[in-house]
Chains A and B, each alone.
Chain A
Amino acid sequence: MHASVEQPHGDQEAQPLLVVRDLQAYYRTSHAGVRRGIRAVDGVSFTVRRGEIYGLAGESSSGKTTLIKSIAGAIKPPLEIVGGSMEFAFLSGYGGLHRAARAELERIRWRHLSYIMQGSMNVLNPVRRVRSSFVDFAYPHIGGSLKQFEQLVVAHLARVKLDPSVLTAFPHELSGGMRQRAALALATICRPGFIIADEPTTALDVVVQKEVLGMIRGIQRETGSSVLFVTHDMGVHAHITDRLAIMYAGRLVEEAATAEIFRNPLHPYTKNLISSLPRIGEDAPRAGLAGAPPNLADPPSGCRFHPRCPLASEICCREVPVMREASSGHRVACFAVNGGDGA
């Protein structure tokens, strides 16, 4: 094992922060002799660069939550990593957090890698004051005297416009927006190199959502962290991410700079996602897609989008399209765009 922990601010700046290669994560159950598998993530590759907000969009059964769990190393049966690797800049040689040694993980977690969770309204321990969450999560990584630590926390809370008094409050005494900002401060206090944000603003009202997004952006710029930002909301992606990947039925179908995706979507699924978004001031009719997302226990052959695709041809039913660069930095997995032969 040549595992080593590298400093996020080392001299290997050009090295990407996370490289995911051909990841396959399945839910496998076996009872009464019947083995079943749900291929939630099936051959996903992408790279998160240093200092960028990388967006991941997908609907409820796209496998994006499973992808996040895999990257975070939160693998519990029946979820299994079946193939592929995830290499972090700060943890190389293991092929993923789920294989890292315990001591290594304890060093990395929160120092180099933190999370803003889906439903992060409920991430603070309800029976303890907010201060103790900061102490539990961050103090072991920051050290020094508790007094210094608290000063640091107070200064950091100011970045998310929270008063120091929230530290002595219990979570239920804070409003939803305040809790969300406290969670944001908690996730960024150690200035980690990498933050995974899973639907961090979905439960918020629009006005608060915009404010919190601005704060995430602000802190990210200041600390130079990379963020993997997952949400189904294309408006949020447009607002905050630098690059964007679209996931459908366990696979990536398109990836490009966010602006490029919105300006020039290539994959028919992406095209529909963007063209169907209603906009205030535009009265043209929008059309949804026919059909329903596939069941991942029994996905369609070939391209998983072909049963709903207006451009589907015979090859789409047979072969799996791979992600190919259509123009610089713009990858797409579609025979209609890339041309016939697939590979």
Chain B
Amino acid sequence: MNDLLLDVMEVSKTFARGRLLSREKIVAVNKVSMQLAAGQPEILAIIGESGSGKTTLARMILNMETPTSGRLVLDGTDLAAMGGNAARLAFMHKVQPIFQNPFESFNPLKRVERYLLMTRLRFTGAAGESTAAVAVDAALHKVGLSLKEVGGRYPHELSGGQLQRVAIARALLAEPKLIVADEPVSMIDASLRMSIVNLFRTLRDELGISIIYVTHDLATAYYISDRIMIMQKGSVVESGDARTVLKAPRHPYTRQLREAVLLPEVASAPAIVTPNMNGLSPGAPERRA
């Protein structure tokens, strides 16, 4: 029991739609189990399309949603049995989230450093604002920023990439063991995306933090994750070592996803000719491999 950081046991989540008379149940997550080992930091990607239940699962791990059935145990604590403010703080000390939309992650009316300082003061018992500020600056340096750049700024004064870095720095300030990131780069510009993705790798290797990376993007998942889990309509259809699964998918759905990835390689196939300039029959090259 103790050698697991996270133990998800047969969790399900159903949502009821409609009211009183016309009730229908939607199974968002269906008996999903998964484990993360303690002391062995890794990046686990949960992959799925919209409606696959990946976000609901992530929210259950973050205790933002209560499972309909099944159990979640984080570092020895059963999430269902967790009561009281102290227990909640202790939980958030271990698990921190990164959200999809960096522009929405901070209150537009407040300065962003407020959240950084708050996190430090609440979770690590930092003595006073000035020691907290030192830690905040250090955390910002880990994500390639500094308190000088970020201090006193409102969210709209920072770019999406900067804000997502601040969000990661904030999570780091709680010194968590696990970070749950739901589509953390899908709204980040292409030129900045990989530096954020690489950051997750650094967190794993240098800070020993495990990361659950929720995404629809197979390519980035392949790039950074150690293990992956493919979800379809609430169930896990395939899971295992990222490279093995993505290079040789077994489940038909995984194969379908794998084939739908639009790869630049297709275009660099040598059969390409310059488009015909003479209009009517567009000289679109045959590209299907």
Listed in ascending order, the chain A residues whose CB lies under 8 Å from chain B are 9, 13-14, 49-53, 59-61, 176, 205-207, 209-210, 213, 217, 220-221, 224, 232-236, 238-239, 242-243, 257-260, 262-263, 269, 272-274, 276-281, 283, 285-290, 292-293, 308, 329
Interface-located stretch among B29-37, B84-92, B170-178, B263-271: B263-271
Residues of A within 8 A of B281 (CB): 51, 224
Please state if B257 and A207 are interface contacts (CB–CB under 8 Å): yes
- Size bracket, chain B contacts: 35 or more
Supposing A257-B272, A293-B191 touch, asked if A207 and B260 sit within 8 A by C-beta, the answer is yes
Please state if A263 and B260 are interface contacts (CB–CB under 8 Å): no
Residues of B within 8 A of A292 (CB): 159, 161-162, 192
Supposing A60-B189, A269-B191, A288-B192 touch, asked if A280 and B279 sit within 8 A by C-beta, the answer is no
Residues of B within 8 A of A52 (CB): 275, 282-284
Listed in ascending order, the chain B residues whose CB lies under 8 Å from chain A are 49-50, 159-162, 189-198, 216, 218-220, 222-223, 243, 246-247, 256-269, 272, 274-285, 287
Of A61, A259, A329, most B-chain CB atoms within 10 Å? A259
Bound complex: CA A279 to CA B262 (Å): 10
Please state if B198 and A287 are interface contacts (CB–CB under 8 Å): yes
Please state if B285 and A259 are interface contacts (CB–CB under 8 Å): yes
- Among residues of A, the one whose C-beta sits closest to the C-beta of B267 is A238
Please tell me which one of the listed residues B196, B262, B284 contacts residue A210 in the complex, with CB atoms under 8 A apart.
B262
Please state if B191 and A49 are interface contacts (CB–CB under 8 Å): no
Residues of B within 8 A of A13 (CB): 278-280
Residues of A within 8 A of B247 (CB): 280-281
Please state if A262 and B267 are interface contacts (CB–CB under 8 Å): yes
Please state if B194 and A287 are interface contacts (CB–CB under 8 Å): yes
Please state if A279 and B263 are interface contacts (CB–CB under 8 Å): yes
Residues of A within 8 A of B267 (CB): 238-239, 258-259, 262-263
Please state if B268 and A293 are interface contacts (CB–CB under 8 Å): no
Count: A-B pairs, CB below 8 Å: 168
Please state if A234 and B190 are interface contacts (CB–CB under 8 Å): yes
Chain A nearest CB from B124 CB (Å) reads 30
**14 A-B pairs, CB-CB below 8 angstroms?**
A14-B277, A14-B279, A49-B277, A59-B189, A59-B191, A205-B49, A206-B261, A234-B264, A235-B261, A257-B272, A262-B267, A279-B222, A280-B246, A281-B246
Bound complex: CA A205 to CA B261 (Å): 10
Bound complex: CA A59 to CA B185 (Å): 13
Please state if A262 and B277 are interface contacts (CB–CB under 8 Å): no
Chain B nearest CB from A17 CB (Å) reads 9
Those 6 A-B pairs whose CB atoms lie nearest each other, nearest first: A288-B195, A51-B282, A235-B262, A50-B279, A259-B272, A59-B189
Please state if A14 and B260 are interface contacts (CB–CB under 8 Å): no
- Among residues of B, the one whose C-beta sits closest to the C-beta of A276 is B194
Bound complex: CA A150 to CA B166 (Å): 55
Bound complex: CA A21 to CA B272 (Å): 28
Please state if B260 and A210 are interface contacts (CB–CB under 8 Å): yes
Residues of A within 8 A of B192 (CB): 288-289, 292
Supposing A205-B50, A257-B274 touch, asked if A262 and B264 sit within 8 A by C-beta, the answer is yes
Please state if B190 and A220 are interface contacts (CB–CB under 8 Å): no
**Other than the known A60-B160, A236-B262, A283-B243, what 6 A-B pairs have Cβ atoms closer than 8 Å?**
A234-B264, A259-B269, A260-B272, A262-B264, A292-B162, A292-B192
- Among residues of B, the one whose C-beta sits closest to the C-beta of A284 is B223
Please state if B279 and A273 are interface contacts (CB–CB under 8 Å): no
Residues of B within 8 A of A262 (CB): 264, 267-268
Please state if A272 and B191 are interface contacts (CB–CB under 8 Å): yes
Residues of A within 8 A of B194 (CB): 276, 278, 286-288
Bound complex: CA A214 to CA B278 (Å): 23
Bound complex: CA A293 to CA B223 (Å): 24
Residues of A within 8 A of B284 (CB): 52-53, 217, 220-221, 242
Please state if B220 and A288 are interface contacts (CB–CB under 8 Å): no
Residues of B within 8 A of A209 (CB): 260, 262
Chain A nearest CB from B271 CB (Å) reads 9
Please state if B219 and A279 are interface contacts (CB–CB under 8 Å): yes
Residues of B within 8 A of A233 (CB): 262
Chain A nearest CB from B240 CB (Å) reads 15
Please state if A279 and B189 are interface contacts (CB–CB under 8 Å): no
Residues of A within 8 A of B223 (CB): 278, 286
- Among residues of B, the one whose C-beta sits closest to the C-beta of A224 is B280
Of B189, B256, B259, most A-chain CB atoms within 10 Å? B189
Please state if A14 and B278 are interface contacts (CB–CB under 8 Å): yes
Supposing A239-B262, A276-B190 touch, asked if A329 and B279 sit within 8 A by C-beta, the answer is no
Of B191, B243, B260, B272, most A-chain CB atoms within 10 Å? B191
Residues of B within 8 A of A289 (CB): 191-192, 195
Chain B nearest CB from A180 CB (Å) reads 13
Chain B nearest CB from A216 CB (Å) reads 11
